[in-house]
Every structure is written in C-alpha cells, then in structure tokens.
Amino acid sequence: MKIFQAALLLFARNGYATTTTLQIAQKAKVSEGTLFKKFGNKKQLLNEIISPLAFQILPISLKKLLAGHQITLNNFVLLFISDRLNFFKKNILPIQILTREVLYNQLTAVNFFEKIPVSQLQELDEFFQKLKDKNQIVNWPNRDIIKFLFNGLFEYIIVHYILLEERKWDELSELKRIVSFTTKGLTPGNN
C-alpha cells in the first residue's frame, strides 16, 4: 500500500514518464527490490492505479442512479453528470494520471477503454434505446452519445482539477451550464 500511495502521488505530481522506480521506493520507504517484487515494473504499477477506474468510469447501475426520478433526458443528464463528478472528485489523483497517460499514449487509452464492463455499456444502450423510441434523445450511435455526455464534464475536470487546481470557481453555476448544454445537444432537433 505504501508503494501504491507513493506512486499515486508521484505520478500525479511529476508524471509517469519522469517518475523513477527509485523515487517511488524512496517515498514509500522501501527498497526498489520490494517494489519490483510486488509490482514487477513501473508499467504494472501504473496499470494497478488506473485499471480500477475502467470498472467505475460509468455508473455501476443506472437503475440506482435514476431511482425515484422521472425519466427525462434533462434528469438523466443532471444525475449522470453529478454522479460522475462526485466519482471524479473522490478519485482525482488516479484521474489526473489517467488523463495525462491517455493524452500521451494511445495504447494506454485503448487498453483502458477495452476494460469498461460490457454490462454497463449494455445497460446504457438499453436506456438510450428507450429514449430514442420515445424521441427524447438524438438518434446517434450510443458511443457518440456517451462521448458527448462526458465532453463537458471532462473539460470541467481538466480545467478545474488538473490545470487550475488552486483557483476558485462557481461550481454550481458551471455544472448547470454543462447540464443545459449537454441536454440541448442531445435533444432531437437541436443538432
């Protein structure tokens, strides 16, 4: 755990490429040999940090997320974005690492997105189809809808939690604008 925490902090602060296994071992107060014994190499340690995010990047259950709410596109977008923002805030260091690695290493991006559970994607597919059948959401491919849902949220996370971590902002107002923009973009006839 000490190795994992040290790597998490150093990768988030300095980047994966510039962090050495020696730095990680020193921060964790273990030998470099112990690091290699537990994780094999630096790449496997990175995978241990970012791989769990693939299983949580989408809501675990839409049924739980939407429970007790009227099923409208606006409610869905509001609940989805609020839920994912809370998840990102709780996991900001691994998200920072993932974001940087995905931007600089296409293979990392491909490997990460291939790990997203099919069951979560299927649940979203079924939900989007119900909305499409009622003409409540654009008739785009479902993966494009998912990307659009995350676009504003990712921009918000990157700007406020990765690039400009120390600045103050009106989170509620910005989230309302993201929800409004996303809802309008996904509403049939607005695109």
7-21: pLDDT as tens digits: 999 999 999 999 999
Looking at the structure, tell me whether residues 134 and 79 fall in a common domain.
Answer: yes
Going by pLDDT thresholds of 50, 70 and 90, the confidence category of residue 188 is very high
- Whether 142 maps to a domain, the answer reads yes
Looking at the structure, tell me whether residues 119 and 32 fall in a common domain.
Answer: no
Distance between CA 102 and CA 107 in Å, rounded?
Answer: 8
Looking at the structure, tell me whether residues 60 and 108 fall in a common domain.
Answer: yes
Write the pLDDT tens digit of every residue in 133-157: 999 999 999 999 999 999 988 888 8
Write the pLDDT tens digit of every residue in 45-101: 999 999 999 999 999 888 888 898 888 999 999 999 999 999 998 999 999 899 889
Looking at the structure, tell me whether residues 25 and 102 fall in a common domain.
Answer: no
pLDDT at residue 49, rounded to an integer? 96
- Whether 191 maps to a domain, the answer reads no
Enclosing domain of residue 87: 55-186
CA torsion through residues 156, 161, 166, 172, sign: positive
Q: How many domains does the chain have?
A: 2
Q: What is the mean pLDDT of the chain?
A: 91
> What DSSP state is assigned to residue 56?
T
Looking at the structure, tell me whether residues 29 and 71 fall in a common domain.
Answer: no
| Residues contacting 73, CB < 8 A, separation 6+ | 131, 136, 137, 183, 186, 187
pLDDT at residue 149, rounded to an integer? 94
Q: Is the pLDDT of residue 24 over 80?
A: yes
Looking at the structure, tell me whether residues 41 and 59 fall in a common domain.
Answer: no
Looking at the structure, tell me whether residues 114 and 160 fall in a common domain.
Answer: yes
144, 182 Cβ separation under 8 angstroms? no
**Consecutive H or E run containing 139:** none
